[in-house]
A and B are shown apart, each in its own frame.
Chain A
Amino acid sequence: MFTKINKPSLLILSLVLLSAASCKPKSAGNAVSKDAASKVYVPPGKYDEFYNFVSGGFSGQLSVYGLPSGRLLRVIPVFSVDPEKGWGYSEETKPMLNTSHGFVPWDDLHHVEMSMTDGQADGKWVFVNGNNTPRLARVDLKTFRTAEIIELPNSAGNHSSPFGTENSEYIVAGTRFSVPEDGEAGDVPISTYKENFKGHISFVSVNKETGDMNIAFQLKTPGVNFDLARSGKGKSNGWFFFSCYNSEQANTLLEVNASKRDKDFIMAVNWKKAEEYIKAGKGKKQAVKYAHNKYDEQTHTATSEIKTEVTVLDVTEFPDIVYFIPCPKSPHGCDVDPTGEYIVGSGKLAALLPVFSYDKIQKAIAEKNFEPEKYSGLPVIKYEAALYGEVQKPGLGPLHTEFDANGNAYTSFFVSSEVVKWNIKDLKVLDRQPTYYSVGHLMIPGGNTKKPFGKYLVAYNKITKDRYLPTGPELSQSAQLYDISGDKMELILDFPTIGEPHYAQAVPASLLLPKQLKIFDINANRHPYAAKGEAETKVIRRGNQIHVYITAVRSHFAPDNIEGVQLGDEVYFHVTNLEQDWDVPHGFGVKGAANGELLIMPGETLTLKWIPDRTGMFPIYCTDFCSALHQEMSGYVRVSPKGSNVPLSFSLGDKPKKAEPAVQ
Chain B
Amino acid sequence: MSEKTYLQALNEALKLEMERDENVFILGEDVGQFGGCFGVTQGLFDQFGESRVMDTPITESTIVGAAAGAAAAGLRPVAELMFVDFIGVAMDQLFNQAAKMRFMFGGKATVPMTLRMPQGAGIGAAAQHSQSLESWFMNIPGLKVVIPSTPYDAKGLLISAIRDENPVVFLEHKLLYGVSGEVPDESYTIEIGKGEVKREGTDVTIVATSQMVYAALEAAERLKADGIDAEVVDPRCLQPLDKDIILDSVKKTHALVVAHEAVQFAGPGAEIAAMVAEEALDYLDAPVRRVGAPFCPVPFSPPLEQFYIPNADNIVEAVKSLR
* Chain A bound to chain B: no
